[in-house]
Structures are given as C-alpha cells and as structure tokens.
C-alpha cells in the first residue's frame, strides 16, 4: 500500500537541503541471496477474533518494552459526512478526545494522561477514523478505560469546540500564504468539482459547526459494525479479552451498513489555470483524474512511479528537470490511486520566468516513458528500492498489526502482502510503458499555476508563440478567495 504522493514533498525538501550529489542516492545492485531473502519474507500474522456486536480484534504480543498500544478503527469518514457544513466529521474526530470524555472534563482528561505519561488521540479522515492509546504496562487498566470513554462517551465541551474553531479559521486564513497549498486546493477542486472529494472547508463551515451536530455525527459514525480494535504490547491475550469485554462488550450494534463511497461524476475541463498571488516563485500542479485502488496493473504503476517521479533524486523528473536543466527547486509526480478515482499529478516549484519550460520539460519526461521502455538496469534498481521499502512496513509488531487493520478497512485482498513482492518481480519494461501510455493523456490535463504577474506574462507569451508546446492549452485566470477557487 503506497503512501499518498503529496507526502513526497518532505522528501524532496530534505534532498534539496542536503546539497548531496545524486550518486549518493544510487541503489547498488542487490546480490542474488538478498533478492531471495526479501522475496520470501513473510510477516507475522496477528491473532484475530470477533465480538458478537461486530467488532473485530487484532492482537500481537510484544515483550520488547513494558508498553501497551491500541487503536480503534471505525469505518466511514468525511466522504459520507454532511454536504454542509464541510469539515464537520473531522471536527467530531478531533473533539472526541479534546472535548473531554466520560466523567472527565477536558482539563481533567489532559491532567490524568499527563500524570500517567500516556497518550490518547482521536481523528477522522476521508474513509475511516478512530481512537488510539499508548501507555505503560502497569497503567493499562486505567488508560483503557479513558480510551473507551473517548471512543464511546465523548463530552464535546463547548469551550474546547470554540478553541478548535478559532484555530481552524486561522488556518484557513493563512492558506493563501503558501503557494503549494493554494495550488493543491485549486487542483483538487478543478479535478473533483462539487463532490465530497473536491469540497474544501471554509470559514462559514467552521462557524456553523455546533455541539449538537458533533453529538449527532458521533451517534451516526461510531458503531461496532466493521470496526477493528488493534492491541499490541506487553499484555496477555486473557487481559486483552477482559478489558475488551468490560469496556466494549456492551457496545450495541446499530444494524446499519456503510453505503458505497460517493461516485465521481465530474469531468475536469482541461487547460492552464493561473492564480495571481505575490510570490517570488511559482508553484505548479498538473495532471488528470486517475484510477481506483488495486487495478490489475497496480504493481506496474508502483514501478512506473519510482521511475517517473516518486523516488527523489533517483526519478527521471528530478534527474532531468532539476539536476540536468536546473528549471525547478523540486519536482515529483506519479499515479495516486483513490477511493473511486485517484489523480495522476506532477508538482513543481520554479522561478517566474521558468514556468513554461519547466512544464514542457516535465511533460517531455512523461512522453519519454510513453515512447520507450525503461532500461533493464533502471527496472532492477526500482524493483530493489520497492522491495527494501516494503520490508520497512513490518519493522515493529505494532506496525504489522496496524497495517493488517488498514488493509482490511480498505478491503485489500487477504493475500495482498504475500503476493506483492512476487508481482513486483514479474513486472516487465513493457508493462511500465503500457502504464505510461494507457494511464496518462496530456489532452485531459488540468494545469494549475500559482505565481506573480511576471510568471503569468511569461507563460502567456510562451503559449502565444507556440514555443514547442506539443499539446494546445488554453490559459485562464482564477481568483482564490476564502480558500475557494472562483472561475
């Protein structure tokens, strides 16, 4: 299961700030024994059982440290939330922990956890949410009680909700200070339109979120059907069963089933969309709607991403556009499968007068992969990188159990982890070129550029001259107000 491509921004920043030469990041060819060792890796499988109310438990004992960790995963998230106010499900997830729980006020809850040197957190994202805890072995009974109260009996205190609102509104107001954030928001809205995937929370949404709404959403979303509880650490199964029965055994099933995720009927209008803001450098995000998770060619997609733009200085985008031509401060790209439809995207930052050549050269890298198959040594290098990074998903028993839960939540095949490495090994250079040809279409590209007026004029001049553009792109200005793109 690959991370979202936007997480690669931090990788790019680290590599750029290091000032290291690209050969320091070259992957050495692995030995035959190393390949065999990794290919036959088999992760530990957690113990699993199910309660009568529908809650599934995953358990792995880990005696390395006197710690116990737990995480409750709950199916459903903002994709199934109300159209208005936007962001309400995320607010509910945050305030389950921050607003007090059970018999503890928010301040008392903070104090008790601090005294116990324990942590309890809660959150909801697009597809699922939940509550987690970590504590010393000797405090597990008390912390597990708090953990269950946060999950099942949150107080949603008004003063903490007011504090959250103030912080959220301030964050919204500051979005315009970061060009990459503006580009990302605009790109997402243009890609998905007025659907749950494209809607962005604004100030009026935050202001209208009430305690009553959070209580209602908690009742709707927090239910045992389809939920998973992961427990790891220095604790015996008998104690796990005792704690779960005591605190979650009476959690009543609702008898409701989560409906399928919302569709994506929107079709983006191709073109270049420019947002004028007073930044000294320009940020560009461009691409098209993509594929859902687990299309049959997902192993070839992973290798394509490594070759094209997700592997830092080892990717073709970085080698060509940044290292060889010096047109960008950072660039990355690839295919990010989604719940229903993902996105194919390229992101770069450049000087105002370099916007046009940076876009064209990035597209030329994609066209090169569409025209010719990757070199055998390039294929093997990226397969090695994927094998090595894959093993890091299992470097602790807690991560193994959490990964297992997430795969189940997202309905991955039961044998996904057992078959991933063999499938990666079987990908051919022609498979990668097929991905480049069949999954990308520049004629459908939406290009968002955020920059100053000089960047706009340079781009406009280049388009008017033709200037080597292989695809015709229309140029349109947008406004970015209150975190919403105005066309």
Question: What pLDDT is stored for residue 21 in this prediction?
Answer: 34
Positive or negative, the CA dihedral 305, 310, 315, 321 is: positive
Report DSSP state, residue 59: E
Question: What pLDDT is stored for residue 224 in this prediction?
Answer: 96
Q: Per residue in 35-87, pLDDT tens?
A: 555 556 677 899 999 999 999 999 999 999 999 999 999 999 999 999 999 99
Q: Per residue in 337-371, pLDDT tens?
A: 999 999 999 999 999 999 999 999 999 999 999 99
Question: What pLDDT is stored for residue 6 in this prediction?
Answer: 38
Q: What percent of the chain has pLDDT over 70?
A: 90
Q: Which tokens sit at 3?
A: 């991370």
Q: Per residue in 227-237, pLDDT tens?
A: 999 999 999 99
What stretches of 123-254 show up as alpha helix (H) in DSSP? 140-152, 158-173, 179-192, 203-208, 211-221, 237-248
Could you tell me if 75 and 258 are in contact, meaning their C-beta atoms sit under 8 angstroms apart? yes
Over 70: is that where the pLDDT of 483 sits?
no
Band of pLDDT at residue 481, cut at 50, 70 and 90: confident
Question: What pLDDT is stored for residue 257 in this prediction?
Answer: 85
Question: What pLDDT is stored for residue 387 in this prediction?
Answer: 93
Question: What pLDDT is stored for residue 18 in this prediction?
Answer: 33
Order of strands across the sheet that contains 330-336: 330-336, 343-351, 281-289, 446-451, 271-276, 475-481, 484-486
Q: Measured between alpha carbons, how far is 37 from 294 in angstroms, rounded to an integer?
A: 26
Structural domains present in the chain: 5-30+267-393+414-486 (3.30.830.10), 47-175+198-248 (3.30.830.10)
Over 60: is that where the pLDDT of 32 sits?
no
Average pLDDT over residues 162-186: 95
What stretches of 316-428 show up as alpha helix (H) in DSSP? 316-317, 355-371, 376-391, 397-409, 416-426
Over 50: is that where the pLDDT of 465 sits?
yes
Band of pLDDT at residue 20, cut at 50, 70 and 90: very low
Closest CA to 235 of 70, 49, 400, 122: 70
Q: Is the pTM of this model over 0.75?
A: yes
| Average pLDDT, rounded, for the chain | 91
Q: Measured between alpha carbons, how far is 185 from 369 in angstroms, rounded to an integer?
A: 28
Q: Per residue in 393-419, pLDDT tens?
A: 898 999 999 999 999 999 999 999 999
Average pLDDT over residues 307-316: 95
H or E stretch covering 304? helix 298-308
Over 90: is that where the pLDDT of 151 sits?
yes
Could you tell me if 133 and 119 are in contact, meaning their C-beta atoms sit under 8 angstroms apart? yes
């Amino acid at each position: 299961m690959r991370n979202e491509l936007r997480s690669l921004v931090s990788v790019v920043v680290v590599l750029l700030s290091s000032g290291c030469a690209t050969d320091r990041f070259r992957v050495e060819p692995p030995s035959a024994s190393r390949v065999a060792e990794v290919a036959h890796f088999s992760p530990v499988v957690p113990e699993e059982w199910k309660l009568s109310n529908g809650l599934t438990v995953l358990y792995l004992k880990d005696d390395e440290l006197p710690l116990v960790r737990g995480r409750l995963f709950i199916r459903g998230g903002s994709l199934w939330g109300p159209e208005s106010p936007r962001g309400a499900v995320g607010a509910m997830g945050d305030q389950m922990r921050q607003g007090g729980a059970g018999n503890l006020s928010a301040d008392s809850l903070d104090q008790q956890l601090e005294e116990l040197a324990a942590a309890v957190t809660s959150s909801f994202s697009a597809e699922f949410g939940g509550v987690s805890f970590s504590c010393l072995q000797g405090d597990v009974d008390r912390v597990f009680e708090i953990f269950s109260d946060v999950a099942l009996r949150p107080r949603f205190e008004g003063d903490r909700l007011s504090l959250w609102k103030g912080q959220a509104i301030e964050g919204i107001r500051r979005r315009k200070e970061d060009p990459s954030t503006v580009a990302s928001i605009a790109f997402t809205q243009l890609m998905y339109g007025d659907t749950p995937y494209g809607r962005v929370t604004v100030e009026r949404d935050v202001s209208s979120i009430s305690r009553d709404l959070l209580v209602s959403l908690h009742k709707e979303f927090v239910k045992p059907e389809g939920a998973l509880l992961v427990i790891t650490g220095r604790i015996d199964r008998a104690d796990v069963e005792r704690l779960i029965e005591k605190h979650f055994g009476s959690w009543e099933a609702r008898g409701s089933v989560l409906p399928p995720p919302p569709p994506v009927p929107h079709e983006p209008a191709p073109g270049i969309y420019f947002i004028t803001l007073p930044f000294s450098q320009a940020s560009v995000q461009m691409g098209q709607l993509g594929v859902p998770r687990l299309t049959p060619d997902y192993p070839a997609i992973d290798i394509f991403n490594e070759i094209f733009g997700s592997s830092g200085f080892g990717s073709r985008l970085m080698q060509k556009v940044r290292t060889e031509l010096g047109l960008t401060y950072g660039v990355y790209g690839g295919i990010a499968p989604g719940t229903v439809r993902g996105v194919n995207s390229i992101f770069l930052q450049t000087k105002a007068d370099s916007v046009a050549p940076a876009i064209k050269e990035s597209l030329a890298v994609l066209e090169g992969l569409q025209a010719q198959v990757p070199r055998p040594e390039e294929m093997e290098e990226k397969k090695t990188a994927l094998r090595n990074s894959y093993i890091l998903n299992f470097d602790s028993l807690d991560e193994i159990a959490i990964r297992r839960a997430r795969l189940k939540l997202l309905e991955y095949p039961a044998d996904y982890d057992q078959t991933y490495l063999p499938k990666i090994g079987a990908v051919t250079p022609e498979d990668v070129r097929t991905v480049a040809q069949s999954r990308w279409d520049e004629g459908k590209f939406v290009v968002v550029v955020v920059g100053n007026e000089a960047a706009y004029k340079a781009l406009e001049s280049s388009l008017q001259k033709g200037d080597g553009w292989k695809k015709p792109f229309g140029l349109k200005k947008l406004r970015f107000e209150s975190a919403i793109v105005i066309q």
